[in-house]
Chain A
Amino acid sequence: MSDFYQTGIITTLHKLGTPSLERLEAEIREFSKKRPVALVLPALYSEFEGPAMQGIVRKLAKVNYLKEIVLVLDKASEKDFHRVREFMSPIATEVKIVHNDGKRITEIYETLARNGLDVGQRGKGRSAWLAYGYVLARGQSDVIALHDCDIVNYSRELLARLCYPVANPNLNYVFCKGFYSRVTNKMYGRVTRLLVTPLIRSMQQLIGQHGFLMFLDSFRYPLSGEFCMVTDLARVNRIPWDWGLEVGSLAEVYRNFSPRRVCQVDIAETYEHKHQPLSADDAGKGLMKMTIDICKSIFRTLASEGVVFSEGLFKSLSVSYLRTAEDAIMKYEADAAINGLEFDRHSEAQAVEAFTRAISQASQVFMENPMGTPLIPNWNRVTSAIPGILEMLKKAADEDNK
Chain B
Amino acid sequence: MTDFLNLILEPLQEVFAKFRTFMPNLLAMLVILSMGILAARVLRAVLVRFLMAIKFDSWSDRMGVTTLLRKGDLWAKPSLALGAIFFWSLIILVLMTGLSALKVHAIDQLVEQFFLYLPRVFSAVLILIIGYVFAGFVSRAVLIAAVNSGYHYAKLLAEALRLLLTILILAMVLEQLQVAPGIVLAAFSIVFGGIVIALAISFGVAGIDAAKRMIERETAEKHAKDTKDDIEHL
Which residues of A are interface residues toward B (Cβ below 8 A)? 103-104, 107, 110-111, 114-116, 385-389, 391-392, 395-396, 399
Cβ-defined contact, A392 with B70, below 8 A: yes
Is B64 located at the chain interface by the 8 A CB criterion? Answer: yes
Cβ-defined contact, B61 with A386, below 8 A: yes
The 9 closest A-B pairs by CB, nearest first: A388-B67, A392-B70, A107-B75, A386-B61, A388-B64, A395-B70, A104-B75, A115-B58, A114-B58
CB A67 to nearest CB in B, in angstroms, measures 24
Is B105 located at the chain interface by the 8 A CB criterion? Answer: no
Is B57 located at the chain interface by the 8 A CB criterion? Answer: yes
Nearest-CB residue, chain A, relative to B55: A114
Is B228 located at the chain interface by the 8 A CB criterion? Answer: no
| Residue numbers in A under 8 Å from B73 (CB-CB) | 395, 399
| Residue numbers in B under 8 Å from A396 (CB-CB) | 70, 75
CA distance in complex: A115, B57 (Å): 9
CB A390 to nearest CB in B, in angstroms, measures 10
Which residues of B are interface residues toward A (Cβ below 8 A)? 55, 57-58, 61-62, 64, 66-67, 70-71, 73, 75-77
| Residue numbers in A under 8 Å from B77 (CB-CB) | 107, 110
CA distance in complex: A385, B70 (Å): 17
Known: A103-B75, A104-B75, A107-B75. A392 touches B66 (CB 8 A): yes
CA distance in complex: A375, B67 (Å): 26
CA distance in complex: A107, B76 (Å): 8
| Residue numbers in A under 8 Å from B71 (CB-CB) | 391, 395
Q: Is the interface of B mostly helix, strand, loop or mixed?
A: helix
| Residue numbers in A under 8 Å from B70 (CB-CB) | 388, 391-392, 395-396
| Residue numbers in B under 8 Å from A389 (CB-CB) | 61
- Select B66's contact among A103, A385, A388, beta carbons within 8 Å: A388
CB A392 to nearest CB in B, in angstroms, measures 4
Cβ-defined contact, A115 with B75, below 8 A: no
Nearest-CB residue, chain B, relative to A107: B75
Nearest-CB residue, chain B, relative to A385: B62
**Could you list 10 examples of A-B contacts with CB < 8 Å?**
A103-B75, A114-B58, A115-B62, A116-B58, A387-B64, A387-B67, A388-B61, A391-B67, A392-B67, A395-B71
CA distance in complex: A111, B57 (Å): 8
CB A81 to nearest CB in B, in angstroms, measures 16
Cβ-defined contact, A111 with B75, below 8 A: no
Known: A103-B75, A395-B71. A111 touches B66 (CB 8 A): yes
CB A134 to nearest CB in B, in angstroms, measures 14
| Residue numbers in B under 8 Å from A115 (CB-CB) | 58, 61-62
CA distance in complex: A388, B219 (Å): 42
| Residue numbers in B under 8 Å from A387 (CB-CB) | 62, 64, 67
| Residue numbers in A under 8 Å from B76 (CB-CB) | 107
CA distance in complex: A385, B62 (Å): 7
- Select A114's contact among B61, B67, B75, beta carbons within 8 Å: B61
CB A144 to nearest CB in B, in angstroms, measures 24
| Residue numbers in A under 8 Å from B57 (CB-CB) | 111, 114
Interface centre among B58, B67, B77 (most CB of A within 10 A): B67
CB A103 to nearest CB in B, in angstroms, measures 6
CA distance in complex: A104, B72 (Å): 12
Cβ-defined contact, B62 with A386, below 8 A: yes
| Residue numbers in B under 8 Å from A386 (CB-CB) | 61-62
| Residue numbers in A under 8 Å from B62 (CB-CB) | 115, 385-387
Known: A107-B76, A391-B71. 14 other contacts (CB 8 A): A103-B75, A107-B75, A110-B77, A111-B66, A115-B58, A115-B61, A115-B62, A386-B61, A387-B62, A387-B64, A387-B67, A388-B66, A389-B61, A392-B66
